[in-house]
């Protein structure tokens, strides 16, 4: 069955450093991969989408890579700030009429001041 | 600019009671989804509606029913609540064909079944 793995252990880094989160998947051929941010008690918020034929995408301090051979995506936050502390979810998507997303369980990021 | 609105925000039910979770979006999105989120399990799809007039089962549909009332509204019904349905429920929507945008989520309904 399809499986998405994100590190369940929290990532704890110092302000100003680059945070790197990993998303691995098996038994799936996604057309797109998405990243979301979720704060406690809130719904997930869409951050970035990357297509299977794109290697990298950037948005401000965020960078996402997508390696379909390794079946892995890396999510980077450069110059991290305490306000970046949240849980980050990876989600896989494929092109069909349903536009369904399959989510990983997320990795919690804590940025220390 | 309300986005996706879910009601209620919190609910406590007794085992066997029924209730309907309401969801409405004002973005003219075609597709709507219901997920549940449990600790360590991530978001799991319960039901979805790819377009008005259609609904389909997701990964964990047992114990739930849905209604796509119109393009704006998609409700989730628990006919006979069980403690295993204690969870946080999220509704989401997405427009068709615009592949640069992800889902828009509501703020969730925290349900406890005792």
pLDDT tens for B40-55 read: 788 999 999 988 889 9
Task: Summarize chain A as % helix, strand, coil (round to 5).
Answer: 5, 55, 40
- Nearest residue of A to residue B59, measured between CA atoms: A102
Please compute the mean of the pLDDT values over residues A1-19 and round it to a whole number: 90
* Cβ-count burial A96-105 (b if 16+ within 10 Å, e if not): eebbbbbbbb
Q: Measuring CA to CA, which residue among B54, B80, B86, B81 is closest to residue B67?
A: B54
How far is B108 from A44, CA to CA, in rounded Å?
10
Interface mutation vs chain B, best among A45, A100, A104, A106, most B CBs within 10 Å? A100
pLDDT at A1 exceeding the cut of 80: no
Contact between A11 and A109 under an 8 Å Cβ cutoff? The reply is yes
Residue A92 structure tokens: 């896989």
Q: Which residues of A touch B105 (CB under 8 A)?
A: 43-45
Q: Is the pLDDT of residue B107 over 80?
A: yes
Query: Alpha-carbon distance B95 to B106, whole Å?
Result: 15
User: Coil, strand or helix: which one is A29?
Assistant: coil
Buried b (16+ CB within 10 A) or exposed e, B36-47: bbeeeebbbbbb
pLDDT tens per residue across span A29-83: 788 899 999 999 999 999 999 988 898 999 999 999 999 899 999 999 999 999 9
In the predicted model, is pLDDT for residue B98 greater than 60? no
B47 and chain A in contact, CB less than 8 A: no
CA angle A36, B69, A35 (to 5 degrees): 5
Q: Which residue has the higher pLDDT, A95 or A23?
A: A23
Closest-CA residue of B relative to A93 is B102
Q: What confidence score (pLDDT) does residue A101 get?
A: 87
Identify the pLDDT of residue A32.
86
Question: How far is Cα B111 from Cα A111, in angstroms, rounded to an integer?
Answer: 31
Q: Which residue has the tokens 């075609």?
A: B30
User: Cβ A36–B106 below 8 Å, yes or no?
Assistant: no
User: B103 or A100, which is more confident?
Assistant: B103
pLDDT tens profile B1-59: 679 999 999 999 999 999 999 999 999 999 999 999 998 788 999 999 988 889 999 98
CB contact under 8 A, A98 and B42: no
For chains A and B, CB pairs below 8 A equal 62
Give pLDDT, residue A28: 78
């Amino acid at each position: 069955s399809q499986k998405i793995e994100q590190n369940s252990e929290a990532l704890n880094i110092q302000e100003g450093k680059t945070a790197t989160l990993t998303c691995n998947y098996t038994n799936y051929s996604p057309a797109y991969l998405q990243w979301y941010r979720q704060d406690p008690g809130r719904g997930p918020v869409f951050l970035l989408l990357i297509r299977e034929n794109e290697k990298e995408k950037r948005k401000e301090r965020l960078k996402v890579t997508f390696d379909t051979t390794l079946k892995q995506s890396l999510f980077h936050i450069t110059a991290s700030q305490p306000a970046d502390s949240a849980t980050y979810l990876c989600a896989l998507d494929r092109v069909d009429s349903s536009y369904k997303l399959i989510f990983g369980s997320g990795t919690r990021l804590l940025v220390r001041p | 600019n309300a986005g996706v609105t879910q009601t209620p925000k919190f609910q406590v039910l007794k085992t066997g009671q029924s209730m309907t979770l309401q969801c409405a979006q004002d973005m003219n999105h075609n597709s709507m989804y219901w997920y549940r989120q449990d600790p360590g399990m991530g978001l799991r799809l319960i039901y979805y509606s790819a377009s008005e007039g259609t609904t389909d089962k997701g990964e964990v549909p047992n114990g739930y029913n849905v209604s796509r009332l119109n393009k704006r509204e998609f409700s989730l019904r628990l006919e006979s609540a069980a403690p295993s349905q204690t969870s946080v429920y999220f509704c989401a929507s997405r427009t068709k064909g615009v592949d640069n945008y992800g889902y828009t989520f509501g703020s969730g309904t925290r349900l406890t079944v005792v």
